Every structure is written in C-alpha cells, then in structure tokens.
Structure 1
Amino acid sequence: MGQEISSHSFTDADHQRFRERLLLNLEGLKALLDRPGFGEGTTTLGAELELYLVDPQARPLSLNREVIERSGHPQLALELNRFNLEYNLKPVPAAGQPFSRLEHEMQDAISLISHHLQSEQGCALPIGILPTLRRSDFGMQAMTDESRFYALSQALVEMRGRMFCVHIDGDPPISLRSNDVTLEGANSSLQVHMRVTPGAFANTFNALQLVTPVVLALASNSPFMLRHKLWHETRIPLFRQTIDGRSHEACDHALPSRVDFGSGWVREGAYELFAEMVHLHEPIIPVCAEEDISKLIEQGEVPALAELRMHSGTVWPWNRAVYDPKQGGHLRIELRALPAGPTVADMAANAALAIGLAEGLKDRVNDFIPALPFQVLENNFYLAAERGLNAELMWPGLEPPAPLRKLTVTEIAKELLPLADIGLSRLGVAEDERRHYLGVIARRLDSGMTGAIWQRREYQRLCRKMNESQALTRMTQRYMRYSAANQPVSEWSNRADKDS
C-alpha cells in the first residue's frame, strides 16, 4: 500500500485480469523458491515507524504532506490520515549492534519531522493511539489525498455492503459507526522486518507467532481511544474492526478477515501464506504490471511479482510474509503487532526481544506445536492485547514442553529472556548490545510498567485534580516530554512533579 496509483476507479475487467496475474505470480514465486540458492544471504533487520504529528496541546496536526514537502526526505511516506507519517528505516545487518543503529535512526527521524514542524511548535510522537483524539478528527476530510487511500476505502465499503461498526469493551465501552476507514488511521505501529532464508522460514515464522502474545503484552501502549479507557493494546481490535471488508454472508461462512492472527501453524514455508492471501481475499487495488514472469524465470532473473506485492499490501495479518525482488530476491517476516512508542529505546528493546526469541526458539518450535493448539495461541494474542502485562496466558513451558498451564505474562517472559539472549547471540549481536536491550525488558518486567499501564495510572492520578478531558491532555503532554527524553518507560514516574 506504499505505492501511489493513478486512479481509484476499476472495472470488472481490471479485477479479472489482476486475478489472472496473481495466479501467474504464485507460479513464479514457487519457481523462485525451488531455485537453488534463492533468498540465501545475511540476516538483516529493518523497520517502518509510524508517527503522530501533534501540537503543544497534544492535539493532532494534519500536516503530513507539508512535512514531506518541507523536508524532501526520501524515507518519509504518507499515511492514511493527514496527522500521521511513516519513516522507512534502512536495513541493517543483524550482527553487531543492529538495535542501537535502529534506535539512533528512529531518533533522527523524530528530530527531522519535529524540525519541520517548528513553525507550528509541533513534534513527531511515537504512540499507539493518541489519547486526545476526537470523533471530529476522522472522516473523509481527515484522509490523505492519495488515490490508493480512496481506492482502499471505496473497495472495503463496497465489499462490506454496510457501515463499518466498531465495538470495544472498556471503561466505558465504545461503539462507533463509520462510512470510511479513517478510524483505522488512529493506529500507529513499529513494523519490524527480518530477512529469513526460505529453508528457515516456516520454523522462524512459527516461533515468532508463538512469542508474539508475550512481546505484545510487554509492549502495550494504546489504552485510550476517543477518551475511552479500553484495551491495553486497543490497536488490535480497532484495526481489525475498522478495515474488515467482510459482508454479513462472509462472516456467516466464517471466511477470514483481512486482519487476523493467521489460520494455523505454517507447515512448509512462505508459499502457503502467499497462496492463502491470493485465494482467500478479493483484490482491492487491481493494478497490473506488464512483466513476462515466465520468461524472466527461464532467464534466471528475478521478477518483481508486482501484483502479488500489491495484493499482499492489502491483507494485514499480524505477522506477514514479504517477498522483495531486491538483492537477488529474498523473503522477510514483517512483525506488525507492535505499537509505536513509548520511546525509541523501548521500541528497539521490543524488537530485540521478538527477534531474539524467534531465533532462539526456531529449532525447537516443532516441539511446541503439538502442545499448543493454534486456537489457544490466537486466544493468547487477544488476551495479551486486552490485558497487557496483567494477562494470564496458556503456556506449555520450555523444558521439555509440558502440559498447558495458565501463567502470567511476567512469568512467561522471565522464563523466555535467556532464550532471547541465546537467539541474539546466534545472530552475532554483540554482547553489550544484548545486555543493554534485554536489560530494558528486564527492568520493565521488574517495575511492572508498560506504556499502557503508565498512561492509565497517570490519567487516574490527574482525574483526582481536574476533569477527564484536562487529565487526558495533561497526561499526553507529560508522555510527550518523557518520550522526547528517550527515558525507557520502566523509569517513568506517576508522581506529581513540577511538569505535571
């Protein structure tokens, strides 16, 4: 979805040709995956960081295109809503100090954007959902003026055949209706990419699925939406419900949503995930390329598979397979569940934990699969999103995988931390790097403080002195100061001080 298109109106013939091209793309991908040596190479890490643009009153600034025009920076990209921007980080080798490099580039990105908001006294803010949003901040007037976003909204509305309805439990619960997808634009995330060889893909992907609920709970940073205190990671239900294009009939037949945790453990490799995307989801943006895929394959070249990549960008599993024709062609796993914020240090630590655990568990994950039915794992994911660090998950234990038992996220995470260190070591991550970022996670566990918990506590504290609207604003302003100082959330205070 990062590619702009020339039109958002398509004919039945456009859709039919695109479907035919998708099948050719799948054949091409299968041939590539069968090619000896395809996708081999050094493990690299990258990320896409989504950020809010906010003013000193912690209100959104709808200036994403203006910031790009002012900066001219090639790594900035427009997001769905005008108050969000995306920064695409440069891939780095996993060996050495990858997370420090990602942290420093994220800090540079925030400084760059904030510099170009000086005239508005604004800044870029990493946060899952901005607590001060109002209903009037959404609607077609909030959408970035790009054909791809109009096409997305129009296609999902037509598929659905009715308004988008959002209901999320909370204090109080929230119920919303919308004729467009701009409510989805409330979500900001850090999407981490890990290059994986085809032979290691299935085990690495399954290992990442296994630990995603734990990492998500530790990273939770989205407890408010439109002044409602909801899930610890409200992005998860909000994204699913605001971009679900299924009709009533599709729901009745249990057809999958375009946003889900997956349909089961991966059995063989990446191909099955791409095939599911093609066969289970109708195309939204049927823009076709002209490349002769078969000819390129026969000549030993690497096709772009443009239709498959376009289609993949309109299906949003929380962990997603990515095909990239660059560097001789390769596969990546995209981790989509992690929120932006609270600080770049916290985000780098979340990435280190997830990547370390995926690498540390990939050779043993097949021992866990019989002990953990996929439906239980999926339930773990939604429990983690709802309750954050307070969640209790079903977990089989490590030595050896034991019968399922209910454990707190903290108990599971402390059991897993040594495995994350082993995994990072296997990738060649430097010892001081491992110690630093896993130490950030360990202190978060010891303090019991996540971004979501800090926001909830600070809001409750301020509500004793002022009304709810003022408390949300003051809480968000204090969050902005802590975040800008890049002080890990485990060190944040909920005590009154001169800044609050």
Structure 2
Amino acid sequence: MGEKVAADGIDLADRERYRRKLHECLAGLRTLLAEKRFDRPKNLIGLEIELNLAGSDGLPRMLNSQVLERIASRDFQTELARCNLEVNIAPHRLAGRVLDQLAEELRTGLAYADRKAREVAARIVMIGILPTLAATDLTAANLSAIDRYVLLNDQMRAARGEDFAIDIQGVEHLVSRSASIAPEAACTSVQLHLQVTPGRFAAVWNAAQAIAAVQIAVGANSPFLFGRELWRESRPPVFQQSTDTRAPELQAQGVRPRTWFGERWVDSAYDLFEENLRYFPPLLPICGPQDPLRTLGEGGVPDLAELVLHNGTVYRWNRPVYAVADGKAHLRVENRVLPAGPTVADVIANTAFYYGLVRALAEEPRPIWTRLPFAAAAANFDTACRYGIDADLHWPRPGRGGGIAEIPAVRLVRRELLPLAAAGLDAWGVEPADRDLYLGIIEDRCARRVNGASWQAAAFHHALRQGLDRDAALTAMTRRYSELMHAGDPVHTWPVAWPVGAPSDAPGLRHVVESA
C-alpha cells in the first residue's frame, strides 16, 4: 500500500486542487517522456511478498504491530489488516545467480520473521488467502492503525454509499457483505517489479498482460474464502468486489471497477496513467508541496506525488509505476498477478518464469499482442482464475495466419512457453543452473498438474474423508500447509494424505456466511 498520508479531513477545495495537480502531473509526465528524461536501463528487479500471521492452531492472529516491533527491520512493513505484513527484497540486477540470491535472502528473512512471530505465539504463513479466515476477522476494527488505511477505507465507503458485497460462484457459492474494505486484506500477493525504459514499457506491459492467465494457471494458491471453496485463484474476484466503489446502478452502466484487467493493449506508459485519471475519481485527494511544472521548468525532476498516489488506488494486475531515485526518474512494470506462496522455491520459480517469459515475448518479431485479441487475454485471465492448472486457454497457433486455438494451460506451458522463458533468462544473463532449477519446478508442476490451489483442495477433501467437519478440515489443512511451507520443498512434491487427528480436536464453527 506504500505511502504514508495524514487523515486530517478533506473538503471540496482539497478535491478541486488535487484534480488540478493531477492534470499538471500528467502534463509533466508527458514532457518527461517526450524529452526522454529517464534513467538508463539497469535490468533492475524488485520483489515484495504479502504475508499472513496465524497461530499454531491455523487461525489468524491480529498481531502485526507486535511482530513488526520485534522484527525491527525496514524490510518488513505493515499491510492492510492486522493479520498481514509485507516483506520487501532489495532491488537486484537480473543476471548471474540472481535467482538463488533472491531465494537465500527470502529464506533468511522469513525464517528471522517467523522466529520473532513465535515470540507472540504466531507463525508466518505465505499463502494467497488464509483458508481459516472468517468474515468476522476482516472488519474495520482489524484494519492496521495507519492513517492511509483509515482514510482509504473512509473514502471508499463514502464512494460506495452502502455495504461492499462479495458474491462468488465457484465450486461452492459465497455471498457475504462488509461495511469496510477489510475483506481486501484476505488477498496476499507477490509483486514483481521490472525497471524499463519508456521505449520498452509498452512491449513489457503488453507481454505481461498476455501471460497473466498463464501465471495464474501454474501459480494459483487461493481456493478458499470464509469457509467456502471458490475459484482456484479467488483473489481477483475478492479484491475487485471488496474494493468496488460502484453502486449497482453504476455497475449496470458499465462504469469500470477500480480493480480491473484493462481493456486494450497500450502504446506508452502515458496511456495507462491517462486512463487512470480519465476513468477513476480520486480517493485520497492529498496534495504535496511540489509544483511539478515549475520543477520541470527549472531543470529538476518532479516527484509527481499526486499522480503516484492516485495510481496507487487503481488496482491493475499489471500496474505502471513512476518513481524518482537518486534524482532520476524511472518507470517500472509492477506485476501483481501472483498469490503468495506456497514456498520460497515456488515463489522464485514463478519469478523466473515471469521474467524470462516477459523478456522473450517483449522481443518477439511478431509480438503476442498483435496476434492475441485483448478480449481473449482478459477471458483467459478469468478462466485461469476459475480453473487454475486445469484451465484451457486461447492462444495463437504457431506460424503466420494460424488463428487462435484453445489449449490446456499445462500443454501450452510445457511445449511453447517454458522454452521461451528459458531463452528470456538466457538473454538476461541468468546462470543456466538457476534457470534449469527454477523453470524445472514449473515443468514438474505442469507434469503432475499440482500447484498450491490444487494441493489445498485435495488436502481439504482428504481431511473431510477422515471424518472432520468443514472448519476442522480447513484448520487441519492450513496447519499442514504451514508445516510444509516452512520445510521448503516445492508444492508439487507435497503428499496430500497425512494423519489429520481426531474430529474432537477441531475448533468450533467460525464461518458464518450466507450461501446459496
């Protein structure tokens, strides 16, 4: 969620001034792009992972402030709910043994954080949606006590004008309502950053959009919410609905949701920032002290603070990022598609697959976005979220004039995309040993048709067959997941069957929701 803001009250004058400054920032960005005043390419990548806190019983723990106080590291930060926190890995140059370096840093950081969490009877759990969360866990009272979150919640509630509604038909049907945006905190993700030049931005963003469905298919890890089995990757519908500021009438009119896939391929980073201003009213109209156009005129580099803040309240799955570091402007593509977990090895495998594939596709002579209709990419994303590793996706046939074919995601990955990802990692200069190790995990997932979501579902049903009721089965599965996550072997190697314990060990019923 990023920047700190002060929730001191907002009036009409604030909104008018903020809107004016947004357009000044957009004009400033246009000038920066036209004059090519951006940092040189450095092949820098960044990694952020949102985490859950759970007890030894598998249930959520609302203790992030206590855990963060004990961790005492700037690498770990608060997140939306008190059962969440985030770890940030310092930027790395994408070359050499970078994948193993990322894995080692992540293992070390998570192990340290977990030791500190244990001091308050909690554990770090890296998972897309904690299966044991109940609707009563995600209320305004359990939002982190940070001004930005308080203000964002207040502004989204005011824009919505009524409770937020979650209605997802998956394996089961979930209907739930919330007076706050807190259910958004159920969704914990991996965010992959890639610094790019303005000239390469559109190609990288378009490539990332094209492969978002494939990322979900192989990496899905969020099949449960509030006690119901839903989509294999339930984060996207949960996130969209829990942040949806549109009243039903606006939804019926086709007004765009603040969490969306997009609707077209782009030609420039400017396209995305301009769309964000054109389609989405400001939620946090807080102005910084800098005059962006004056700063530009004086030869400086503006921070475009208002544009950056507004951009952070439009939740694209591939988000454009503008930032200033060491006095130089740069652009990044922030890939927000993947759920957290299951293990460090799995996260780095997903990371390798993404960076390799996006490099290869961005440099193809006949780019994928000239052969795949955007509507097909969006439909693929929805299909992959629903069915995960069992999804069938639409993809261009090889050769000129081949058209679009429907193909199982696992076959597409193994036959076409893994070789491309390997070539992309070679182009970055990644060591072959790292390339083969981590892309091999993706290959094995596809061969066995196992990812985090399919394991969770299978383990849950195994627990049910052993005689546990729904809540006890979810709890037992979550505890087992946590054990295996900390052991570190990739999820496709995890056994589904294990001694789940007697039904009498189960906690009481927690998941009280409306269900069709």
Q: Residue in 2 aligned with 1:459?
A: 460
Contact kept, 8 Å, 2:33 with 2:198, in 1: the verdict is yes
Structure-2 separation of matches of 1:498 and 1:22: 55
Contact kept, 8 Å, 2:138 with 2:183, in 1: the verdict is yes
Q: Residue in 2 aligned with 1:18?
A: 18
Contact kept, 8 Å, 1:152 with 1:285, in 2: the verdict is yes
The reply to whether residue 477 of structure 1 matches residue 479 of structure 2 is yes
Q: Residue in 2 aligned with 1:252?
A: 252
Q: In structure 2, do the counterparts of structure 1 residues 21 and 230 end up closer, same or farther at CA, with 3 Å as the change threshold?
A: same
SS at match of 2:316: coil
Structure-1 separation of matches of 2:132 and 2:479: 10
Structure-2 separation of matches of 1:339 and 1:269: 27
Structure-2 separation of matches of 1:124 and 1:165: 29
Query: What's the CA shift string for 1:429-464, capped at 9, x where partnerless?
Result: 111111111111111111111000001111111111
Structure-1 separation of matches of 2:134 and 2:317: 27
Percent identical pairs in the alignment equals 35
Q: Residue in 2 aligned with 1:424?
A: 425
Higher alpha-carbon deviation: 32-41 or 412-421:
32-41
Structure-2 separation of matches of 1:365 and 1:276: 28
Query: What's the CA shift string for 1:135-154, capped at 9, x where partnerless?
Result: 22121111111121111111
Q: In structure 2, do the counterparts of structure 1 residues 370 and 36 end up closer, same or farther at CA, with 3 Å as the change threshold?
A: closer
Structure-1 separation of matches of 2:501 and 2:190: 28
Q: In structure 2, do the counterparts of structure 1 residues 20 and 498 end up closer, same or farther at CA, with 3 Å as the change threshold?
A: closer
Q: Residue in 1 aligned with 2:507?
A: none
Q: In structure 2, do the counterparts of structure 1 residues 358 and 310 end up closer, same or farther at CA, with 3 Å as the change threshold?
A: same
Structure-1 separation of matches of 2:242 and 2:401: 37
Q: In structure 2, do the counterparts of structure 1 residues 57 and 331 end up closer, same or farther at CA, with 3 Å as the change threshold?
A: same
Q: In structure 2, do the counterparts of structure 1 residues 117 and 320 end up closer, same or farther at CA, with 3 Å as the change threshold?
A: same
Structure-2 separation of matches of 1:200 and 1:493: 43
Q: Residue in 2 aligned with 1:161?
A: 161
Listed as ranges, the matches of 1:407-422 within 5 Å are 407-414=407-414, 415-422=416-423
Structure-2 separation of matches of 1:54 and 1:153: 24
Contact kept, 8 Å, 1:206 with 1:365, in 2: the verdict is no
Shift of 1:354: 1.1
Contact kept, 8 Å, 1:64 with 1:82, in 2: the verdict is yes
The reply to whether residue 468 of structure 1 matches residue 467 of structure 2 is no
Q: In structure 2, do the counterparts of structure 1 residues 340 and 236 end up closer, same or farther at CA, with 3 Å as the change threshold?
A: same
Shift of 1:401: 6.2
Q: In structure 2, do the counterparts of structure 1 residues 445 and 205 end up closer, same or farther at CA, with 3 Å as the change threshold?
A: same
Q: In structure 2, do the counterparts of structure 1 residues 490 and 76 end up closer, same or farther at CA, with 3 Å as the change threshold?
A: same
SS at match of 2:237: helix
Q: In structure 2, do the counterparts of structure 1 residues 139 and 207 end up closer, same or farther at CA, with 3 Å as the change threshold?
A: same
TM-score by length of 1: 0.97
Q: Residue in 1 aligned with 2:308?
A: 309
Shift of 1:53: 0.7
Aligned-partner residue type, residue 173 of structure 1: H
The reply to whether residue 448 of structure 1 matches residue 449 of structure 2 is yes
CA RMSD of aligned residues (A): 1.6
Q: Residue in 2 aligned with 1:269?
A: 268
Shift of 1:495: 2.6
Q: Residue in 2 aligned with 1:73?
A: 73
How many residue pairs end up in the alignment? Answer: 499
Shift of 1:102: 2.0
Query: What's the CA shift string for 1:271-304, capped at 9, x where partnerless?
Result: 1101111121111111111113223223332111
Structure 1 unaligned regions, length at least 5? none
Higher alpha-carbon deviation: 156-165 or 215-224:
156-165
Q: In structure 2, do the counterparts of structure 1 residues 396 and 11 end up closer, same or farther at CA, with 3 Å as the change threshold?
A: same
Structure-1 separation of matches of 2:193 and 2:476: 34
Structure-2 separation of matches of 1:445 and 1:347: 15
Q: Residue in 2 aligned with 1:487?
A: 489
Shift of 1:485: 1.1
Query: What's the CA shift string for 1:88-147, capped at 9, x where partnerless?
Result: 210000111222222222222322221222223321110000111112212111111112
Structure-2 separation of matches of 1:46 and 1:222: 23
Q: In structure 2, do the counterparts of structure 1 residues 212 and 88 end up closer, same or farther at CA, with 3 Å as the change threshold?
A: same
Q: In structure 2, do the counterparts of structure 1 residues 213 and 365 end up closer, same or farther at CA, with 3 Å as the change threshold?
A: farther
Shift of 1:237: 0.5
Contact kept, 8 Å, 2:390 with 2:449, in 1: the verdict is no
Q: In structure 2, do the counterparts of structure 1 residues 365 and 212 end up closer, same or farther at CA, with 3 Å as the change threshold?
A: farther
TM-score by length of 2: 0.94
Q: In structure 2, do the counterparts of structure 1 residues 324 and 67 end up closer, same or farther at CA, with 3 Å as the change threshold?
A: same
Structure-2 separation of matches of 1:307 and 1:135: 34
Aligned-partner residue type, residue 235 of structure 1: R
Aligned-partner residue type, residue 468 of structure 1: R
Aligned-partner residue type, residue 59 of structure 1: L
Structure-2 separation of matches of 1:496 and 1:36: 59
Contact kept, 8 Å, 1:79 with 1:86, in 2: the verdict is yes
Q: Residue in 1 aligned with 2:317?
A: 318
Q: Residue in 1 aligned with 2:509?
A: none
Structure 2 unaligned regions, length at least 5? 503-516
Shift of 1:497: 5.3
Listed as ranges, the matches of 1:379-418 within 5 Å are 379-400=379-400, 402-414=402-414, 415-418=416-419
Contact kept, 8 Å, 1:219 with 1:339, in 2: the verdict is yes
Contact kept, 8 Å, 2:208 with 2:358, in 1: the verdict is yes
Contact kept, 8 Å, 1:2 with 1:77, in 2: the verdict is no
Structure-2 separation of matches of 1:9 and 1:270: 32
SS at match of 1:91: strand
Contact kept, 8 Å, 1:212 with 1:354, in 2: the verdict is no
The reply to whether residue 354 of structure 1 matches residue 335 of structure 2 is no
Q: Residue in 2 aligned with 1:234?
A: 234
Contact kept, 8 Å, 2:215 with 2:350, in 1: the verdict is yes
Q: Residue in 1 aligned with 2:511?
A: none
Contact kept, 8 Å, 1:218 with 1:450, in 2: the verdict is yes
Q: In structure 2, do the counterparts of structure 1 residues 86 and 464 end up closer, same or farther at CA, with 3 Å as the change threshold?
A: same
SS at match of 2:259: coil
Structure-2 separation of matches of 1:101 and 1:278: 39
Structure-1 separation of matches of 2:115 and 2:127: 19
Structure-2 separation of matches of 1:43 and 1:256: 33
Higher alpha-carbon deviation: 106-115 or 354-363:
106-115
The reply to whether residue 243 of structure 1 matches residue 243 of structure 2 is yes
SS at match of 2:407: strand
Aligned-partner residue type, residue 480 of structure 1: S
SS at match of 1:275: helix
Aligned-partner residue type, residue 195 of structure 1: Q
Structure-2 separation of matches of 1:225 and 1:118: 25
